[in-house]
Amino acid sequence: MTSITDPKIGDEFDNAMKEIHNKHLKTVGETTDAIAGSCQSQRQFLKSARDTCLKKQKDDEMLFESIKTFERDLEQKKALFKEKHQAFSEVMTEIRQMDMQKEDLIQKIEKLKEEQAKRKELIDSKYKANKERLRNLQKSRVVFQDSLGLEIRTIQTQSVKGEQLQFIFRNINPSNEDSIYVVTMRLKDYSSYQIVSSDPVIECLPSLESRLQETNNLAAFLANVRKEFISLSRR
């Protein structure tokens, strides 16, 4: 058995310890280098992850802001649509009212046309009747004025509306041929005669007027009036 006091044994032990120590140092160094590399990798990963998170956060903030902007635009568009819808409803209401007014106006125009046609027909009828009366007056003028001294005058008064006619008879009283006898009438609405008065008064004048309205024969009426005046002059 080798003695522990042998110098070679001590050197071998030292060398073995150094070798073990160097191996441990190498292992520790490799481990430290691995840890350091791992730490560097972790730091790079964390930095990359942090940058990614920050970018994601910024993108999310931009997205949220875009969403808020979109929501504001949507609310504005809703409000604008509501205003336009209200305006459209008002316009449609006005159009419906105008259509109703148009229909009412058309009906009124048609009614006015009908009334105008009726008035025109009535005016034409009155005009024809008036022309006939004027022809009768002209005939009466020719017959009575030339042969019997009848004078026809047109007068205007404020108390009675319309134009009045005075028939002045002469040659009634043989003792005084210049004495005048007067009957006054007017054309009532250009459709009928209306006796206003007579001078002197003829008691049966209303009856003669009624017969005139029935026959529309003015010449016969004037002849009968003349007969009544002659009868009065002889009393």
pLDDT digits (tens, 9 = 90+) for 73-108: 888 888 888 888 888 888 888 888 888 888 888 888
pLDDT digits (tens, 9 = 90+) for 172-220: 888 888 889 999 998 776 557 889 999 999 999 999 999 998 988 888 9
Nearest-5° Cα angle at 197, 218 to 146:
45
Q: Does residue 154 contact residue 137 with C-beta atoms inside 8 Å?
A: no
Fold type of domain 138-233: Copper Amine Oxidase; Chain A, domain 1 (3.30.457)
Q: Does residue 189 contact residue 126 with C-beta atoms inside 8 Å?
A: yes
Domain spans of the chain, in order of start: 138-233
pLDDT digits (tens, 9 = 90+) for 5-61: 666 777 777 788 888 888 878 887 787 777 777 778 778 888 888 888 888 888 888
